[in-house]
Amino acid sequence: MPLTSRLSGVRGLLVDLEGTLYEAGRPVPGADRALEALSERGLPYCFVTNTTSRPRSKLVAELAAMGIHCEAGRIFTAPRAAREYLLARSMTRCHLMVASSVLEDFAGIEHAEGSPDAVVVGDIGEGFSYSRMNQAFRFLLDGASFVTLARNRYYRAADGLVLDQGPFVAALEYASGREAMLVGKPSPEFFRPALDFLGVPARAAAVVGDDLEVDIEGGQALGLRGILVRTGKFRQDDFSRSPVRPDAVIDSFAGIAEVF
């Protein structure tokens, strides 16, 4: 089926950041011009990311340094989704295993070192020490709810692929016998607020990303179309083995306007 047919009716885009719009802090060549082309065509977009090591204010500044200007409200992050999830359930005392800079995105949630309502896991990099993991494990055994911002297995850093938070969440699940509630991609609870911002239903939107499972499969499960880019964590071997079939595959985000 021609790409134009598979993407017909798309009236809004959810665009991943790391690996799609930029790689290891450097913009994908032509990404800024591609965004301008989308704006000229009147195709709205917003950014969706499982980045949990930096707050939205930092992401806005980083994008601006790359020549991409946007408001914080246009960026939908896993910490933002987690905050809404926790407050909606009156869980305001939580053990936040997140980067200190991200705490600003948890306004209204108190970090608790004892008897927390929930354990919330984000990307703390080398902060995933034995002592911190064991403390979280004990809170879970004592009955704290278990929330994870993402399940990503790895991502591309400046020096190559590195472990993301997913493997550490899996370890806590295995040890505690508890399954974590996912609030980041590919959870529907993450995609829905972004779709509300765009003002289009899932069937009229597409997600653009470099992760077959988190971006493409997650979006398609909610009814979105999926556009895979061959940048970031894309691997041809993974793509060939995967049962997930994107609605379109492009070399990089620079070519996004060409498929509409």
pLDDT (tens digit per residue) in 63-101: 999 989 898 989 999 998 899 899 999 999 999 999 999
Among 87, 21, 27, 82, smallest CA distance to 48 is for 21
7 within domain boundaries: yes
191 and 177 within one domain = no
Q: How high does pLDDT run on average in the chain?
A: 93
Token pair 């984000």 in the structure block, residue:
122
CATH number at residue 209: 3.40.50.1000
**Would you state the structure tokens that stand for residue 71, as one six-digit string?**
């408001």
Name the residue among 2, 3, 1 with its Cα closest to residue 206. Answer: 3
Nearest residue to 79 via CA among 148, 10, 140: 148
140 and 176, same domain (yes or no): yes
**Contact between residue 220 and residue 1 where contact means Cβ atoms under 8 Å apart:** no
Q: Residue 133's pLDDT band (boundaries 50, 70, 90)?
A: very high
- What does the alpha-carbon distance between residue 207 and residue 88 come to, in Å, rounded to a whole number? 26
Range of the domain at 125: 91-182
Return the minimum-mean-pLDDT range out of 11-15, 103-107, 137-141, 192-196.
192-196
* Rounded Cα distance, 208 and 16, in Å: 6
User: Is pLDDT at 1 greater than 80 in this prediction?
Assistant: no
Domain's final residue, options 151, 182, 213:
182
User: 160 and 99, same structural domain?
Assistant: yes
Note the pTM of the prediction, 2 decimals: 0.82
Q: Are residues 194 and 172 in the same domain?
A: no
Distance separating alpha carbons of residues 231 and 251, to the nearest angstrom = 7
**Is residue 95 domain-shared with residue 172, that is, in the same domain?**
yes
**Is residue 186 reached through a cis peptide bond, with omega within 30 degrees of 0 on the bond before it?**
yes
Q: Mark whether 102 and 175 lie in a shared domain.
A: yes
Any domain includes 81: no
pLDDT in tens, 27-58: 999 999 999 999 999 999 999 998 888 899 99
Q: Is residue 168 part of a domain?
A: yes
- The pLDDT, as a whole number, for residue 5 is 66
Average pLDDT over residues 139-165: 90
Compute φ and ψ for 255, nearest 5 degrees: -100, 15
Q: For the chain, what is the domain count? A: 2
Q: State the pairing for strand pair 154-157/160-163.
A: antiparallel
Residue finishing a domain among 182, 213, 228: 182
CA 157 – CA 147 distance, rounded (Å):
25
